[in-house]
Every structure is written in C-alpha cells, then in structure tokens.
Amino acid sequence: MKSVVELPKELSETSGLFCDADGMFSLNDSGNAPVIYRVNYQGEIVERTRLPLTNRDWEAITADDTSFYIADVGNNKGNREKVEIHKVSRLNANDITTFTLKYAGNNASSNMPYAHDFDSEAMVKYGKELLLFSKSWRTGITHIYKINEGEIEQTINPFASIEGLPGVVTGVDFDPHQGKFVITGYKSDPFGNFATFIAQISQDYTLHDIWPLERYKQVEGVCVDNKGTYWFSEEATEGRNASLSSAHVTR
C-alpha cells in the first residue's frame, strides 16, 4: 500500500471516484447535496461544483474529455422501478442530459431488500461505451449493462456477466496500462463485518485476479491515474473515517 489519507468530513459518504490528470472527482450518496467534488491526491477538496439536480442516491461518477456521468442508481431496497444517469458538460454544469433506465425483468413491488439483482454502484466510460456493473445481492453474479447515449428512456439487458467475485461490486475503472478493468467491492454481514476486495477483469469480462483489502470496510470507488496507480475511496463507518488510499497492482 502506498498511502492512506483521511478524507474531509464533507466527503464522509463518498460513493464514487474518477481519476483525472491532476486529481480526482468524487461525490456523496443518498440524500446529500448534488455536488461534484474535485479532490487532490492528498485527499483535500479543491473545488465544488453544485448541479441543478436531486441526489436521490448517487453511487458512481465517471467521465470522458467532454462530460461527467453521474449514476443515480442506488437501489439496495429494490423499490425503484427506474434509475437515472446524468450526463453533465464539463464546460457548463447546467448543460445536463438525463437517461432514465429500467432493468429488464425488474418488478420493484416484489423485490426483497438486499436480496435482488436490480441494483448498481459501479459505472465506467470505456472508450465510447458507458457501462454499468450490477450489485447482485441475490445471485452474486455481476451483470454488465451498456447504456445507449442516444436513447433518453431505455430498458437495459445485461450483455455480459462475471462469476466468482467474493462480494458485491461498488466501483469500477479501466486500467489502460494493463488492459484490464479494476473493480472493488465487499461482502458484509448485519454485524458490521466487511470482507473487502479489489480485482482485475479482462476486456472479455473474465475474472483474472483478486486481492483482499484487509484493513478496510465500505470501499465505494476505484480509479486508475495516468501513472497506473490504483486509488480507492472508503466511506465512513462506525469507528472509521472516510479515507483515500493508493496501491500499485502488477501482474
């Protein structure tokens, strides 16, 4: 592990991470202010961009050269019929396109909390593709969805799946240096115990490697900087403050 720094209390519920050339971007999850935070690699907030949106349950952030993508997709209890992704211009925070998504087969009235597959917390812009990775509580099989940016309202079906992960997926990025996706997540129980992990996935969505993150609990975001260093953010939990960590992972 290269470094661990404490995040400001303002980012106690950090729930997504995107690496940029000179820092990274994060956001808080459900019920918090609709703000994109620019954070330096020392964990300090250097800029806040407030958006004219409601943060129902923001869970992920990714970007390309022209836009941020914010995933308002949190659905642990399974009671959302539809979720949203907001595409925000990096030049004008008021220039926003919202995509409304419905999972194929999702019947919100019959879902049991924390026991269904229609939930997600991980999203990445991979080339020209915008990909959403499911948080599959019921089956443990991670489903991957491709979002059509030409369609404002759409029903999404998985085009690929990943088996063998030791818990639910909470963050994803693509590592161009190794040509693999990097994901993070955890398995938890009602007593506050977490088994947290980071993993690499091939470009054909095959599981390659898994490493435990033994001192961590609710890790929520991961990104790869331009040097190939992996960064991940941890939400505050009982007895632990929110943190930002980095690691070098090679194979």
Residue-wise pLDDT tens digits, 82-137? 999 999 999 999 999 999 999 999 999 999 999 999 999 999 999 999 999 999 99
Phi then psi for 9, rounded to 5 degrees? -60, -25
Share of the chain above pLDDT 70, in %: 98
Task: Give the C-alpha distances (Å, rounded to integers) separating 142 from 13, 135, 139, 170.
Answer: 23, 6, 8, 11
Residue 212 has pLDDT above 70, yes or no: yes
The per-residue pLDDT for range 73-83, each reduced to its tens digit, is 999 999 999 99
Task: Give the C-alpha distances (Å, rounded to integers) separating 107 from 101, 118, 232.
Answer: 13, 9, 33
Tokens of 133: 């990775």
Q: 206-221 b/e with 16+ CB inside 10 Å = b?
A: eeeeeeebeebbbbbb
Please name the amino acid found at residue 12.
S
DSSP string covering 164-199, please? Answer: --SSEEEEEEEETTTTEEEEEEEEE-TTS-EEEEEE
Place 2 in a pLDDT band, splitting at 50, 70 and 90: low
**Rounded CA gap, 182 and 202, in Å?**
9
Mean pLDDT, residues 221-241 taken together: 94
Place 249 in a pLDDT band, splitting at 50, 70 and 90: confident
Residue 251 has pLDDT above 70, yes or no: no
